[in-house]
Structure 1
Amino acid sequence: MSKEIKVALLTIVAIAALVIGYNFLRGSNVLSSDHTYYATYPKVEGLNVGAMVALNGIKVGQVKSMQLQPDKDNSVRVALELQKDIVVGDSTTASLGGTLLGSKGITLTLGKNTKVYTGGEEIRTVTPSSITDAFQAKALPVLDTVGATLSHINGFLNRDAQTNIQQTLLGARGTTEALQKLIVDNQRNINQITRNLAQMSTALNKTTGKLDRIAVNFSQLSDSLKAAPVGPALRRLNATMAEAQTTVASLNRALNDKKGSMGKLLNDTLLYNNLNATAASSNDLLVDLKANPKRYVHFSVFGGGKEKSKVETTKKPNGTTTTEVKKVETTPALAPMK
């Protein structure tokens, strides 16, 4: 093979690669078997070659090319390259839309077709109103309403209303001047109040320091109490209380036991009656001794050995008394010295 043929073949391959690469960069694949359809729009601001063609939000193709048609009111004919498995027919519409970021694309809407396209046909187009048109449509009635409202306000603000507003402003100005004068007249009192507040703030700062120290002392006391042997002291106190309870129980049992001395002393009724009778007899004896002392004490001036008698009264435990007369021999008594 000659050099000329090799150069020619290399040139053809380079040109083919350049065409394929250029179309690929533009979003078109010349080697694909996709079908091409056409859609005509009055204007396509923001639409670029390679823009996405979507069906139900999924990309099914792209914009292959755009061509201006001067003989048809400068409309734009857009070539749409769609995947071959997408069924397009006479009910299919291609809507030109965009996002808030400004990029645009074409959205397909499929319906019940009476005729199925195989490629090269013209698809019906739908051009929605732009955001600017929608804004103008909404804004114009609002602006008219605002204008009417301003007209009513201007009619309301007649000469009398303006006079009242001016008088109100003058009154507000006078009030401001009076307030300024009052502040100037009481400047000394205001300064004194400010100094008092400063002194109060200083005192509060000092008090805050004392409170901090008190909190620290409480914290140290809490730590001391936490470290103190409170547990052993409580256990010793519990042991002492247990011993005291045992002692009281033993004393209670001793007092209730009728066989013991304390029990007999507290529970024996016969002993109680005897003690009661003895106390009664002692009382009667003292009464009788006080009433009749001669029965028990005898004084003899000259002495003598005469027999004497005395009366004894005894009270029994059952409450009865007995009286007995007994003879008592007396010894001679010494006569008192004169």
Structure 2
Amino acid sequence: MKISREVKTGVLVILGIILFIFGFNYLKGENLLSSSRVFFTEYENVEGLVASTPVTISGMQVGKVLEIGFKEDGSGKLLVKILVESEFEFSKNSSAELYETGLIGGKAIAIVPAFDGAENAVDGDVLVGGKKAGLTDLVNQRLTPLQEKIETMMASADILLNNLNDVFDEETKGNLKKSIAELSETMASFKNTSASLNHMIKSNEAHIDSVLTNTNRITSNMANVTKTISDSNIDQTIKTLEETLNSFNKTLTAVNSGEGTMGKLLKDEALYENLNAAAVELEALLRDIKLHPKRYTRVLSKKEIPYEEETVEETK
């Protein structure tokens, strides 16, 4: 059977259209012959994310970003179209997190699969968008409070400097300079005094050595005395002294109570009066002996001398 030219032309046109569509999608990153799936996700900001950015699952690249554009609902959100070329199945409740790829910058999308028993995600589903804090975000979170503290500290330092400028006026500065000059003079005087003291110590070094030697001897003697006192039976001496004091206290108590001769002498008033009367009579006797010694010669003589009354003349 002979095929007409029109049929051949139609087949060629259809094949050309197919090849064009296949090539166009291939250039866009879509392979019509593969089991790839297209998903969508939304973000508020995709700074650093561009087309052909890798899409990963658990760190493994499974696709790439196809398109980035604004949603047509006027919300200002960005709609990102991603291609997943892996046959790995995950739930439609999975999320697509935007994360930083390194220190230099750049963003990528990581699909965080969910295994919650829900239906598997199919071509055209919209995944929940999210953002994973990167190193830059963490640094900004740490630096922001620190920056506020630094600003507060700088404001306090500025106030302090202003106060210092108010305090250190021209008069205060002059007084401060004068004080520093006087301090320099004092230090110079102290230096001279120190030199004189060093010279005096050096001149009297022999005397100082002698004093220190004597001090060492005194210290040694004191140590020996202390050792002697420590070795002596101080406890027994103190005990004996306590017993003596106790005995003396008992004697004083007995005397105060009127016991014994001493106690009776101190407490018996009659004996005191008798002794006082005897002392008076003894004093009168002694006075009479001084005045009339002849009267008592016969008492002192071995011979008996008759007693004769004194005449008035003798008495006179």
Q: Shorter-chain-normalised TM-score: which range?
A: 0.3 to 0.5
TM-score by length of 1: 0.42
Report the TM-score when normalising by structure 2: 0.45
Instruction: Tell me which protein shows more strand as a share of its residues.
Output: 1
- Structure (1 or 2) with the greater helix fraction: 2
